[in-house]
Chains A and B, each alone.
Chain A
Amino acid sequence: MSEDVQAHIKTYMKVGGALAVLTALTVIVSYIDFWGVPFAVFVALVIAATKGSLVVSFFMHLIEEKKMILATLVLTVFFFIVLIFLPLLGHADRHGEYYTLPNANAPTAAPAAGH
C-alpha cells in the first residue's frame, strides 16, 4: 500500500514538472508568429489539451477509474462537443449576414485579427 502511494507520488512530481514545462512552452509559442492565428489556436489548444489530460489522468486518477465513471464522462464529452459545434455550424449555415458593426469603444490596441 505504502509503496504504491510512493510510486504515485513520483508520478505526481513528474506530472507537476511536465505541466510547468508545458505552461512555459505555450507562453513562448504564443509570442512566435508561425503561420497565423489558426495555427496558433491549434498549437495552444493541443498544449492545453495535453495539460488537461495529464491532470485528469494522474491527479484525478482517471486512468485507473471504474467503467461507470468513464462512461458518464464519455457521454458528457459527447454533449460538450455538440454544445460547442452545433451552434457554430448553425452560425456558418445561415441566411443573411450576422456580422455587426465594430464596437464604438472597443479596445483599440489590437489590430483586426482574422477569424
Chain B
Amino acid sequence: MADVTTTEQAAPAADAHGHEEHAHGDHGHHDLGFWQTYVFSVDHKVIGIQYAVTGLLFLLFGFVLMMLMRWQIAYPGEPIPLIGEWLGDERAPGGIMLPEFYNQLGAMHGTIMVFLGVVPLAVGGFGNFVLPLQIGAPDMAFPKLNMASYWSFFVGGVVMFASFFVPGGAANSGWTSYAPLSVFATTGQTMWLVGMIFLITSSLLGSVNFIVTTIQLRAPGLSFMRLPFFVWAQLVTAFLLLLAFPPLEAAGVMQLMDRVAGTSFFLPSGLVYADAPWEATGGGSVLLWQHLFWFLAHPEVYVLILPALGIVGEIIANNTRKPVWGYRVLVYSVVFLGFMSFVVWAHHMFLTGMGTTMSSFFQTTTMIISIPSVVILSALFITLYGGSIRFTVPMLFALAFLPMFGIGGLTGLPLGLSAPDIHLHDTYYVIGHFHYVVAPGTLMALFGGIYYWFPKATGRKMNDFLGRVHFWGSFISINVVFMPMLIQGLAGMNRRMYDGGEQYLMNADVLWLNEVISIAAWVLGLFQLPFIYNFFRSIKHGEKVDGNPWQATTIEWQAPSPPPHGNFSAPPVAHRGPYEYSVPGAARDFLMQGEPDTAAEPAKV
C-alpha cells in the first residue's frame, strides 16, 4: 500500500495544532513495522484503502473480461487481436473465442463487478475509510474483525480468480448460478461457491462492525438526526448485508451439497444431462435456488446504490454550498428503501410460472419501492436549485450520477410490471437498465467519491485537468455503451448470446449497434487511463492541501490529512447538523459540525 504515508510523514501535512496533539496521541505506541502497518493492519483507514484498491483492481479486471466479450459480440468468429493467442487452446483456439469461454467471461464479469468490485469499493472502501471519520470515532468498534473481514474478502477474491485456471475454467452459469445448470457445471462452479462463502463471511463481519460502530462510537452530540447522509446510507446498507446475505450462504451450502455430496436440493426428478439420466434422487426445486438467490440479490442492488447515494449527497451539499434539501425525508426514505428491498425479490421471477396473485403482490411492492428512490433523487435535484455550484471534478461526477441513476430507475419500471416483463425479460433491455443503475450511476458516484476523499487519504489533491478528461470521456462513452442496449432489448434481442444475437433474424435491424457499443466500450477503457495515472501520480506528486480543502462541514475534515492512527487530534464533539452551509450571518459560508459555538454564529441554527 504505497499510498499510505506513515504517521511521521503525515505530521507535516497536519496543521501546527494538530501536530502537537498528534504527537501526544501517539504516546505509548511502538512502531508496528511494515507488515502490521501496511498489510495486516487493524487501522480502519488502511483497511479501507486496501479494500478500495483491491476493489478498483477487480473492477479493472472485470472490465477487461467485458472488453473481451465485446469483441466476440461485435465480431463473432474473428480472432481476438493482441491477446487472443495468449488465451490458450482451451479458451480461444487460434484466438477465436469458444462459447464456453464466453459463458465464463459473462458469469465472472457479473460476479466480479458486483461482489468483488463495487461492493468492496463502496462499502469496504468508502465505508471503512470515511464512516468512522465522519462520526468522529477513533477506529471501527472491532478493529481485528475488520482486518479479518478484509482478508476473508481477499481469500474469496483469490479463489474466484484462481477458478479461471482449473480444468473447465471458471463458473459459466451466469452470475445468478441458476440451478440445475450450475449443478452440472464444471469445477469452476464449486470454486465460485467456496469463494462466495468467503465473501459472505467477509461482509457479515464488516456489517456487524459498521452497525456497532455507527450506533456506539458516534462523537458526543452527534445524534442520529445529525449523522451525515452518507453514514445513514452505510448503516442501512450494513443491515441489508447482515440480514440478506445469510440466505445466499445457506443456498450456497446446499448447492455445494448438490455438487459435492450428490444431494438434490435444486434438482427435480427425471433430469437428463448429456443424453443420460442424471444420477440423483431428484425431488428438489429449481425455484428454491431462485428464491434464496434473489432474497439476497435484490437487496444487493440497494447495497450497490445506497452508498453511492450517500456519496452524492455529501458532494452535492458541499459543492452547492447549501444544506441538502429535506434531510429528514432523505433519511426516512433510505430506511424505508432498505426495508422494502426485502420484499420485492420475486419480480426477477415473473417468468417462472408464478401465479397472478403473487405477481401482483411483487409488482405492487416493486412500484412502492420506486417511491423512496424518486424522493431521494428529487431531494438531491432540489438541492441544486439556487445553489452557488462549484463545478469541481467530484461535483461533475455527482451531477452526472443524478440523470444516469434516473434513467436506470425509470427503465426499471417496465421490468417491475409483469406484463411488459414478458417481452423484456432476459433481453439487452435488462442489461441496459441495470447497468445504467450500477455503471453510469453507482460507478460515477464512486469515482466522484474517490476524487472527493482522496485529499483526506493522502493529503494531496488529484489533478484537476486529468480528472475532467476522465469525466467527460467516461460520461460520453458510457452512454454510448448502454443507451443502444436499451434499443436492442426493446427490439427483442436476447442477452447471453455468444455470437451477439447474429443467429436470429429479428435482431438484424439492431445488430449494427453491437459494433458501436463495443467501440464505445474500448474508448471507455481508454478514458480510464488518465484516472489510473492520476491516482498513482497524485499520491506522491499531487497538489498539497490542508485538512479541509473543500471547505466542508462534516467531522472527517476536522482531522489532519491523512489522519494519524486514532484519527483526531482532539476528540471531536458535534455541535450542529451535518450540512450547515451558507448560514445567514455566519463569518464563512460553512460551519463545521465540530466547531464550538461562536459569536459569529446565529443563536439558533
Contacts and interface: CB of A to CB of B under 8 A. Distances in A.
Interface of A: 68, 75-76, 79, 82-83, 86-87, 89-91, 93-96, 98, 100-106
Given A79-B342, A90-B354, A100 B295 contact: no
A10 to B, nearest CB: 33
A94 B282 contact: no
30 contacts: A68-B215, A75-B239, A75-B243, A82-B342, A82-B343, A83-B247, A86-B291, A86-B343, A86-B346, A87-B291, A89-B358, A90-B349, A91-B285, A93-B355, A93-B356, A95-B355, A98-B285, A98-B287, A100-B268, A100-B269, A101-B269, A101-B270, A101-B282, A103-B269, A103-B281, A103-B283, A104-B281, A105-B281, A106-B281, A106-B283
A22 to B, nearest CB: 27
A80 to B, nearest CB: 9
B281 A83 contact: no
Given A75-B243, A93-B355, A100-B269, 20 more contacts: A75-B239, A79-B243, A82-B342, A83-B295, A86-B343, A87-B287, A89-B358, A90-B349, A91-B287, A93-B357, A94-B355, A95-B353, A96-B353, A100-B283, A101-B269, A101-B270, A103-B269, A103-B281, A103-B282, A103-B283
Contacts of B354: 90, 93-95
A75 B287 CA distance: 26
Contacts of B357: 93
A113 B288 CA distance: 22
A75 B243 CA distance: 9
Contacts of B285: 91, 98
Interface string B336-368: 000000110010010001111110000000000
B26 to A, nearest CB: 34
Interface in B527-567: none
Contacts of A75: 239, 243
Interface residues of B, number: 26
A91 B357 CA distance: 11
Contacts of A68: 215
A75 B335 CA distance: 12
A82 to B, nearest CB: 6
Interface in B444-482: none
A93 B343 contact: no
Nearest to A87: B291
Contacts of A104: 281
Given A75-B243, A100-B270, A90 B281 contact: no
A17 to B, nearest CB: 33
Interface of B: 215, 239, 243, 247, 268-270, 281-283, 285, 287-288, 291-292, 295, 342-343, 346, 349, 353-358
Nearest 10 CB-CB pairings of A with B: A93-B355, A100-B269, A87-B291, A103-B281, A101-B269, A95-B353, A93-B358, A93-B357, A100-B268, A90-B358
Contacts of A86: 291, 343, 346
A93 B295 CA distance: 18
Nearest to A95: B353
Nearest to B354: A90
A90 B356 CA distance: 10
Contacts of A79: 243, 342
A90 B346 contact: yes
A105 to B, nearest CB: 7
Nearest to B288: A87
Given A82-B343, A95-B355, A101-B269, A90 B283 contact: no
Contacts of A102: 269
Nearest to B277: A104
B384 to A, nearest CB: 34
Contacts of A96: 353
B350 to A, nearest CB: 11
A68 B342 CA distance: 21
Contacts of A101: 269-270, 282
Given A79-B243, A101-B270, A90 B287 contact: yes
Contacts of A93: 354-358
Residue in A87, A102, A103, A106 with the greatest tally of chain B CB atoms within 10 Å: A87
Contacts of B247: 83
Contacts of B343: 82, 86
Contacts of B358: 89-90, 93
A100 B282 contact: yes
A101 B215 CA distance: 52
Contacts of B215: 68
A96 to B, nearest CB: 5
A74 to B, nearest CB: 12
B359 to A, nearest CB: 9
Contacts of B353: 94-96
B340 to A, nearest CB: 11
A72 B375 CA distance: 26
A76 B342 CA distance: 11
Residue in A82, A86, A102 with the greatest tally of chain B CB atoms within 10 Å: A86
A50 to B, nearest CB: 25
A3 to B, nearest CB: 31
Nearest to A96: B353
B272 to A, nearest CB: 13
A86 B288 CA distance: 11
